[in-house]
């Protein structure tokens, strides 16, 4: 578990859907507060080891954040020593220092009062445990044989996708390019539908959904009926939930009807500890302690406000 500082994202919108503008490094689109991860999200600096070394700039990975009341630069600011929250990384903050993690303001308030701006924390990477199967959000589709772009949401386990592929009837697998953040695209998609979908995460685990995309030119969210198996221990980790109480697990997906290859739904194993997942980026943060303060809400680069990440509370 590494030490660093936490910052609060400056969430000026408090309605059910978070509006976003232009995307630079990632493309999750608008997040709905009523579905996972319920705005319980954070932003990493490009200098953070998980952002720099992981696929998709760390987007989709989950972290347990523990507030520390003693020993750090901002001691005594937590509601209670040891209080924690589990977040999903959905944003980036280019102006943030490597030892900062931005939190959405309502999430930050679960750890400490937002008017203080910064708190000391420890954090560790933990498995993601969304309540439903993966969703594919197609936001660009020019039809069979043409440009196709999508992102994958509600990803369990490591939350680190390394490969997205599609295949038309009787064809071979075609790899999409991860040009930035969570967006995967290809200029010349298969010439006929329906399309099968195959997704691989960074430890090699792979799942397949047959006839996942059925209509050329169609966009929106599609249920895949597939999910990565949670391989890391989740003991002692509170799952991501809404605030002040956990919303229902229903999804706003716009279509379904897929047949999948064997791909178990998340079933976290029992355990008493939740070690940081192995692999890339598992090195100590540059600072002995971390902290947070209020920063800009950015959907992995989709700017809601034209302010720097170091914006003061209420700016």
- Which CATH class for the 2-128+274-296 domain? mainly beta
Where in the chain are all domains bearing CATH 2.60.40.760? 135-230+248-260
Question: Which CATH architecture group holds 135-230+248-260?
Answer: Sandwich (2.60)
Backbone phi, then psi, for 232, in 5-degree steps? -90, 160
* 136 touches 257 (CB < 8 A): no
Q: Say yes or no to pLDDT of 80 above 80.
A: no
pLDDT digits (tens, 9 = 90+) for 2-34: 445 555 443 323 332 222 222 223 445 556 666
Is residue 262 within a helix (H) or strand (E), and if so which, with residue range? none
Where in the chain are all domains bearing CATH 2.40.40.10? 2-128+274-296
Q: How confident is the model at residue 233 (pLDDT cuts 50, 70, 90)?
A: low
* 148 touches 114 (CB < 8 A): no
Spatial distance between the Cα atoms of 128 and 95, rounded to a whole number of angstroms: 27
132 vs 290: which has the higher pLDDT: 132
């Amino acid at each position: 578990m590494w030490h660093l500082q936490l910052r609060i994202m400056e969430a000026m919108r408090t309605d059910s859907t978070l509006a976003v503008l232009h995307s630079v490094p990632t493309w999750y689109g608008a997040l709905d507060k009523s579905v996972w991860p319920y705005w319980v999200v954070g932003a990493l600096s490009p200098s953070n080891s998980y952002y720099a070394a992981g696929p998709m700039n760390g987007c989709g990975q989950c972290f347990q954040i523990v507030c520390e009341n003693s020993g750090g630069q901002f001691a005594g600011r937590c509601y209670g020593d040891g209080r924690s929250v589990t977040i999903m990384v959905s944003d980036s903050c280019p102006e943030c220092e490597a030892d900062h993690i931005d939190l959405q303001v309502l999430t930050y308030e679960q750890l400490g009062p937002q008017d203080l701006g910064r708190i000391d924390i420890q954090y560790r990477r933990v498995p993601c445990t969304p309540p439903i199967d993966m969703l594919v959000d197609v936001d660009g589709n020019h039809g069979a044989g043409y440009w196709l772009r999508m992102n994958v949401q509600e990803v369990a386990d490591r939350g680190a996708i390394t490969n997205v592929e599609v295949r038309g009837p009787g064809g071979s697998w075609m790899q999409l390019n991860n040009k930035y953040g969570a967006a995967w695209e290809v200029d010349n998609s298969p010439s006929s539908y329906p399309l099968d979908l195959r997704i691989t995460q960074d430890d090699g685990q792979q799942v397949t959904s047959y006839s996942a995309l059925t209509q050329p030119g169609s966009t929106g969210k599609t249920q895949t009926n597939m999910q990565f198996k949670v391989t890391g221990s989740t003991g002692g980790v509170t799952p991501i939930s809404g605030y002040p109480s956990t919303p229902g697990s229903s999804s706003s997906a716009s279509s379904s009807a897929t047949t999948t290859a064997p791909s178990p739904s998340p079933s976290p194993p029992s355990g008493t500890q939740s070690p940081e997942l192995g692999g890339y980026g598992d090195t100590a943060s540059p600072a002995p302690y971390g902290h947070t303060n209020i920063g800009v809400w950015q959907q992995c680069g989709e700017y809601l406000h034209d302010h720097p990440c170091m914006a003061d509370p209420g700016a």
